Amino acid sequence: MLLLMASAAITYLGALAYSNRIHDRNLVDSAMALAQLLNQLPAGEKLTAQARFLLEYDPYGRNYFSIRSMRHGLTTGSDELQPPAHSPLPDRPAVLYDTVLLDRKIRVASLVLPNRYEPSDLLTVSVAETLEDRRRRAREILLLTIPTQTALILAVFALVWFGVNYGLRELQPLTERLARREHDLAPITDADVPEEVQPLTRTIDGLFGRLHSMLNLQERFIADAAHQLRTPLAGLRVHADRLQRLQSAEETADAIGQIQRLVERASRSTSQLLSLTRAQSTQVHDLADQTINLSSLIPELVGLRVHEAIAAGIDLGYESDAAAAWIHGSPTQLQELLDNLIDNGLRYAGRGSMVTVRLSQAMGEVLLSVEDNGPGVPSAYLSQLGERFFRVPGGGGDGSGLGLAIAQRIAEYHGAALRYHSASQGGLIVELRFPASPPGREHEPG
């Protein structure tokens, strides 16, 4: 309907313009004919009644004419029809203009010619008509075209309807195949998918892929959590039973101590598992495109652990020769990574040892390392560090065996390589090499 209305409006305006052009030409012709008639009229003779009738005859609207002498005023015709504000030069083509006569809009053609019988006088000949006839013609043209236009629009509508239906029928097999799937997240790019739809199916495949790995991650998390919590929970039950039966204050204190240790272990396991799952589900594009200056971030993070280190009897230090070391990455993830490395140092190096965090920059790389002078890890086990749940046998201490796996995963999507070495005087060195990035705009704290 809207199309039809728009098309009708455009047709009407076009037809009106066309009708105006033809009527204007006729009006000018009439003015010229009247001028010619005047030239042939003997001096002093008036227009005949027939001539007046012909000039003023119009079955649909009204026609007017007037002949004015510059000297004597109106000679013949309607007095209401005023000459143009700027009269044209004598013997020039007629001018056309719109005006209002007796509250009706009219169109006037006017021309000026010398008075044949009085050389110093000029005559203005004006012919005018109301606008009804022009509009009527435009309406007629419009009425002629409406049926064709309606038919055309209906035909296009039918074609589109048919085309869309036909096109969508091609998708029927795909729709049915997808409806039959239940938990299958395999890619859908089959041979029979129409070429136009393939970008869509490829996008859905990408989504399926991400969903699949997320579901895997979730399943693994649930399995790991169940496995990790089973041991501490069993221990808790044993010690709770003991508590009920025990009477001696010494044994009670021991049972409570065991319970506290087990609860701590369970909560550590849970939070480490959550961290690992979070790190694994982070995509490279999730890393806000943030440039970080490690030479201001790392000392800050090390500073946060100093009190804890003092309490554990460990000398925690920071060394750096880099004035600025910019990398792309996420500060919170880097904090998680460094926390796990410092945590291991504090936990396994033993009282009285030193844990040193170092930062340096060389050849487009930013080098971050955490070194301690504790017992270290036997070289046979170095290659296994970073595996989920791997703990060095006889390594002692409580832990879930996930810290280095978390660190490795975070390093990975920062594009950093993570390596383990044994320090020369014993102890473990964990080393990270980040690709350096151009300095960011972030203001560096003094």
Ligand X SMILES: Nc1ncnc2c1ncn2[C@@H]1O[C@H](COP(=O)(O)OP(=O)(O)OP(=O)(O)O)[C@@H](O)[C@H]1O
126 or 344: CB nearest Mg ion: 344
Residue type (1 letter), 429: I
401 binds ligand X (CB under 6 A): yes
232 binds ligand X, rule: CB under 6 A: no
Contact stretch for ligand X (CB under 6 A) within 92-100, 103-111, 153-161, 370-378: 370-378
State yes or no: residue 372 binds ligand X (CB under 6 A).
yes
For 145, how many CA atoms within 13 A lie in the half-sphere containing its CB?
17
Binders of ligand X: how many residues, by CB under 6 A? Answer: 25
∠ CA 338-343-345, rounded to 5°: 100
Distance CA 222, CA 229 (A): 11
Q: Which is nearer to ligand X, 95 or 316 (CB)?
A: 316
Is residue 298 part of the contact set for ligand X (CB under 6 A)? no
Q: What letter does residue 293 receive in the DSSP assignment?
A: E
Q: Which is nearer to Mg ion, 295 or 344 (CB)?
A: 344
Q: Which is nearer to Mg ion, 243 or 429 (CB)?
A: 429
The residues that touch Mg ion, with contacts defined as CB under 5 A, are 344, 403
Q: Which does 132 bind (CB under 5 to 8 A by kind): ligand X, Mg ion, none?
A: none
Residue the block writes with tokens 């309907």: 1
- Residue number with the smallest Cβ distance to Mg ion: 403
Partner in contact with 66, chosen from Mg ion, ligand X, none, beta carbon below 5 to 8 Å by kind:
none
- Of 247 and 425, the one with the shorter C-beta distance to ligand X is 425
Is-contact 137 15, C-beta < 8 A?
Answer: yes
Q: Compute the distance between CA of residue 418 and CA of residue 398 in angstroms, rounded to an integer.
A: 23
Where does residue 263 rank: exposed (0-12), middle (13-18), buried (19+ CB within 10 A)? middle
Which residues fall within 8 angstroms of residue 109, CB to CB, at 6 or more apart?
Answer: 24, 27, 28, 30, 31, 94, 95, 96, 126, 127, 128
The one of Mg ion, ligand X, none whose footprint includes residue 350, by CB under 5 to 8 A per kind, is none
Give the angle subtended at the CA of 186 by the CAs of 185 and 190, to the nearest 5°: 130
The count of C-alpha atoms lying within 13 angstroms of the C-alpha of 203, restricted to the half-sphere facing its C-beta, is: 4
Q: Which phi-psi region, left, alpha or beta, contains residue 427 (left: φ > 0; alpha: ψ -120 to 50)?
A: left
**Minimal distance in Å, beta carbon 259 to ligand X?**
19
Q: How far is the CB of 229 from ligand X (least distance, A)?
A: 14
Residue 272 engages ligand X in binding (rule: CB under 6 A):
yes
Chain-centroid distance, C-alpha 241 = 61
Among 277, 344, 361, 373, binds ligand X (CB under 6 A): 344
Contact flag: residue 84 with ligand X (CB under 6 A): no
Stretch that binds ligand X, among 29-37, 138-146, 308-316, 371-379 (CB under 6 A): 371-379
Residue type present at position 179: A
Beta carbon of residue 422, minimum distance to ligand X (angstroms, whole number): 10
Q: Which does 377 bind (CB under 5 to 8 A by kind): Mg ion, ligand X, none?
A: ligand X
Per partner kind, with CB cut-offs from 5 to 8 A, the member of ligand X, Mg ion, none near residue 348 is ligand X
**What is the spatial distance between Cα 124 and Cα 113, in angstroms, rounded to a whole number?**
7
Smallest distance, Mg ion to C-beta of residue 217, A:
21
Is residue 418 part of the contact set for ligand X (CB under 6 A)?
Answer: no
Q: Give the footprint of ligand X on this chain (CB under 6 A).
A: 268, 272, 340, 343-345, 348-349, 372, 374, 376-377, 385, 390-392, 395, 399-405, 428
